[in-house]
Chain A
Amino acid sequence: MSARQLAPLPPLARTRIRASSDAVITVDAVSKSYAARPVVDDVSFSVYRGEIFGLLGANGAGKTTVVECVQGLRRPDTGTLRVLGLDPIADRARLRRAIGSQLQESSLPDRLRAGEAVALFDRSHGRDALAHLDRWGLAEQATTSFADLSGGQRQRLFVVLALLNEPQVVFLDELTQGLDPAARRGVWQVIRAVRDAGATVVLVSHFAEEIETLCDRVAVMDHGRIVDSGSPREITDRHASLSTVSFSAPRAFDRRRLTRIHGVDRVEQEAGRITVFGTSPMIAPVCAATLDGESGPDDLHIQHPTLDDALVNMIGTNR
């Protein structure tokens, strides 16, 4: 599904439920154990209205358990949760009418057709089932059984179901798992459109590129705990390695002037190729320093650290 194929979404209507502040989700000191094995350990965070919030971590880090507690699908051992001002367990029925979910490893019956699935879960009695499917490019699959849908079509159907009934908060858990790169980017487009239409999105993923591309803020989980939170850029700056600028230099090139540039950490040279390590502000001056008159090296390569680099540094190779 390409970007230009996506039809604009209508604004999502608001239900009568209102949170007392901009925080639509507050998680405070939540812990959960299975058979005395702690899976979520003293987790706290808030999600604010209109943002895409990511929960990032390796498989088994406790992300899914946290969002299942937030949705009232699991009862936490300790801690408090509020979603749109509601207790997810005590106010479960009201909350379910205000949220939409794509749960990890939650499927549909093989013989259920796409149109039937939409009509079943749509509180407006399925009157607009085909319109919902058409919006996400699935109109032709209305009579196709779930078992006969491709991976990308299934994920788009899950998005359709998560967005039915005009939810204020949408939970998407490992939505792009198993998709090829093109289908994954199509789903990313969908997630942005959901937020642009006014919903708050909680995105659970072990895929750092996805979180970095989509999320306004992210909490990184490891072994049941949140090890850092902030914008993807902030987390990358705190935990990732340095940016690099590398290029082939003539023998007469003076390396020492590079070390005087603000932000440069060190300069290395190997077989006629210079690599400059440093923080982001050094990149433009270093590039400028490579110029000889109006010409410069034709193999200049700039590499920024990514959230994935930061994640490796934060949680090691336990991914």
Chain B
Amino acid sequence: MTATLPSTTPAMTGHRPTSGPARLIATEAKLFLREPIGLIFVFAFPILTVLIIGSSFEPDDPAFGGAAPSDYYIAAYIGVVLAAVGLVMLPVHLASYRERGVLRRFQASHFSPWALPVAWIVVATTLTVVAVATLLATTQLVFGVPAIDDAPLTLVGLALSIWTSINTGIVLGLALPSARAAQGVGLALFFPSFLLGGAGPPPDVMPSVMRTVAELVPTTHVVQTIQQPWLGTGSSTTPHLIVLAVIGVVTTIAWIKLANRVATR
């Protein structure tokens, strides 16, 4: 302790002349960006994998329903980014908060009980959009990004998918007891979603049993909701939108109930 205080700088204290919720959002963004597992799965893994798998097929391979393999996988790997956010990044981050008593510290503070979930939603949405943009920028350089057949419906599908993924991540993060449990459960859900949801082998080469299993994986609906209107393939996007909307509503209700239960036991 000193009689003369060193000058306060933003770099030293994290101070910005911002409101409480804005400060919370900025702090949460920093913490997400300092979490290596989230960054690896949301940014590095989809880009590296799409570059490998997008280059692994002949351009005229018939297994992709008439689409070029790289076009098929670019849309599919947006689904992988969303799965990484909802099944790995958010659950691990939130479960560590619950495990270490960070949630209780916020409950005892002047912040509104909803300030932290709102910050998670804002930060996760922003990171998802940035990760998707990074994926598209990278694949544009290597393969070229295909033109969008139905832009409004593609954007609706993307927005609904982001909402559903983030809600799923918050539910898992608030329900699982520890970061280790969240990592285990999250990865156990992520890899089947990744392989069966459209980012692995194309459905046309799968046996019928695997195609049926794949239809039960939520990531399949995320990928189809984005891929079909983007590439102008498939018969109807509506059933996939309905499935995602139902999952989105159920998970929203679930995390609000979980947050209330955590707030006052």
Contacts and interface: CB of A to CB of B under 8 A. Distances in A.
A115 B104 contact: no
A270 to B, nearest CB: 52
B1 A137 contact: yes
Q: Which one of B11, B20, B24, B105 has the greatest number of beta carbons of chain A within 10 Å?
A: B105
B13 A103 contact: no
A129 B13 contact: yes
Nearest to B101: A106
Contacts of A108: 100, 102, 105
B109 interface: yes
Contacts of A113: 14
Interface in A111-160: 111-113, 115-116, 118-121, 123, 125-131, 133-137, 139, 142-143
B120 interface: no
A106 B12 CA distance: 24
B264 A123 contact: no
A59 to B, nearest CB: 17
Interface residues of A, number: 46
B96 to A, nearest CB: 7
Interface residues of B, number: 36
A71 B97 contact: no
A106 B104 contact: yes
Nearest to A100: B108
B175 to A, nearest CB: 19
A7 B1 contact: yes
B12 A115 contact: yes
Contact of B110 (A97, A115, A125): A97
Contact of B13 (A71, A89, A118, A165): A118
B168 to A, nearest CB: 22
A75 to B, nearest CB: 5
B209 interface: no
B6 interface: yes
B112 A93 contact: yes
B105 A106 contact: yes
A74 B263 CA distance: 8
Contacts of B17: 125, 127
15 contacts: A101-B108, A107-B105, A108-B102, A111-B35, A119-B14, A121-B109, A126-B14, A126-B23, A127-B8, A127-B17, A129-B13, A134-B1, A135-B1, A143-B12, A161-B105
Interface of B: 1-2, 5-6, 8, 11-20, 23-24, 27, 30-31, 34-35, 96-97, 100-102, 104-105, 107-110, 112, 264-265
10 A-B pairs with least C-beta separation: A116-B14, A106-B101, A115-B13, A129-B13, A126-B15, A111-B34, A107-B100, A101-B108, A130-B8, A119-B14
